[in-house]
A and B are shown apart, each in its own frame.
Chain A
């Protein structure tokens, strides 16, 4: 296992990279033009964040891997993103639920990381938070609009938040790496994010006439490289060019 800081940066970067790739799949397929543009803009922001984190991970690792090598030449088992972000787009409710769960967490995580003793992490968090604040406003709006919309949109939105619920537990799980980063003042206390996340979720769901899913059993493993089968397909598409034509540039 790599140094804890490298692992930690890969987790931060891979979450952004994989969700960015998922959102990019909507490009040209959005239900309306404005949403097509919104999702691809968010994908672009997240790709920017991924580049910051992965460049830093590569520098700390010191093994000659830059952001591109880390993005395009690692296989599924080496990715450290949470399972939530690799879940397929599904219908618009599914994409919205995934984004809302992630944005709410991402917002509080970056808020905490602004206080990191690692000045580079603090700077990236401060920069990214400005954009993520906007992401969260948007996904919160959509939860309310679809949840408290038509009978059909409500049914689909409730189904989506229920379906993805089991991937939310991992967001707050503290393992040895998280504990070590917290002890050094570099990382965030993920357990402390849970009440803030839950509060925003309960408030939003109440306005959206949605039920908070009751399930207690949670999926886990992404942070350690144990992924759902869906990640492999995503990587096959994302990495194809660099795998088929190593070192290709344009």
Chain B
């Protein structure tokens, strides 16, 4: 195999295929975990940021990036973690929000439409008559709700 120098676009391309280990319908680029890619000849620097400070998925994600980099012939990878600016769900695209909804998780409210106090709509029936069951759900990034119309319990991605 002839070694070719990696390109930033190429790296972004395969990073976009790495799924979040807890929410596999989202990739790590959908979540905004990958902040930057720099390529200098055969050296690749990938900057990532944690979602929640203690999220155990971050170790699995870093491991997957290393594995994937090797698979794509990258010998010299620098994986850098940056905390600033702190991760926010505002970085999540509309397409990603729709995929979350289809998967059964209410997507986070967007700061663009000021609906801070509004409750998430039920991902099953769309009703906005929902109630908070617990501020914490199955992962750090989710809260637990129940729909008062169809009675479905569901996870909602917290706005962060």
Say yes or no: A46-B54 contact (C-beta < 8 A), given A34-B134, A34-B144, A41-B140: yes
Check A137 against B53 for contact (C-beta < 8 Å): no
Q: Which of B102-139 contact A (CB under 8 A)?
A: 133-138
A130-B135 in contact (CB<8A): no
| B86 touching A130, Cβ below 8 Å | yes
Check A127 against B53 for contact (C-beta < 8 Å).
yes
- Chain A 30-67, CB within 8 Å of chain B: the 1/0 string? 00001101100111111111011000000000000000
Residues of A within 8 A of B53 (CB): 45, 48-49, 51-52, 127-128, 131
Of A41, A46, A131, most B-chain CB atoms within 10 Å: A41
Task: Count A interface residues, CB 8 Å.
Answer: 27
Given A37-B137, A41-B140, A45-B140: A127 touches B54 (CB 8 Å cut-off)? no
A38 touches B135 (CB 8 A): yes
- Please state if B52 and A45 are interface contacts (CB–CB under 8 Å): yes
User: Which residue of the partner chain A has the closest CB to B84?
Assistant: A123
The 0/1 profile, CB within 8 Å of B marked 1, for residues 113-128 of chain A is 0000001001110111
Q: Which of B82, B137, B138, B160 contacts A130 (CB 8 A)?
A: B160
Chain B's interface size range is: 20 to 34
Contact with A along B135-160 (1 / 0, CB 8 A): 11110100010000000000000101
Instruction: Compute how far the CA of A34 lies from the CA of B52 in the bound complex, rounded to whole angstroms.
Output: 19
**Which listed residue (B50, B133, B136, B160) contacts A48, Cβ 8 A?**
B50
What residues of B have a CB within 8 angstroms of the CB of A52 in the complex? 53, 83
Chain B CB within 8 A of A138 CB: yes
In angstroms, how far is the closest chain B Cβ from the Cβ of A212? 26
Which partner residue on chain A sits nearest B160 by CB separation?
Answer: A130
Chain A positions near chain B (C-beta within 8 angstroms): 34-35, 37-38, 41-49, 51-52, 119, 122-124, 126-128, 130-131, 134, 137-138
**5 pairs of A and B residues whose beta carbons are closest in the complex:** A48-B53, A48-B54, A34-B134, A44-B54, A123-B84
Interfacial residues, chain B to chain A (CB-CB below 8 A): 50, 52-56, 82-87, 133-138, 140, 144, 158, 160
Can you give 28 A-B contacts (C-beta < 8 A)?
A34-B134, A34-B144, A37-B134, A37-B136, A37-B138, A38-B135, A44-B52, A44-B140, A45-B140, A46-B54, A47-B54, A48-B50, A48-B52, A48-B54, A48-B55, A49-B53, A49-B54, A51-B53, A52-B53, A119-B84, A122-B84, A123-B83, A123-B86, A124-B83, A126-B84, A127-B53, A127-B84, A137-B135
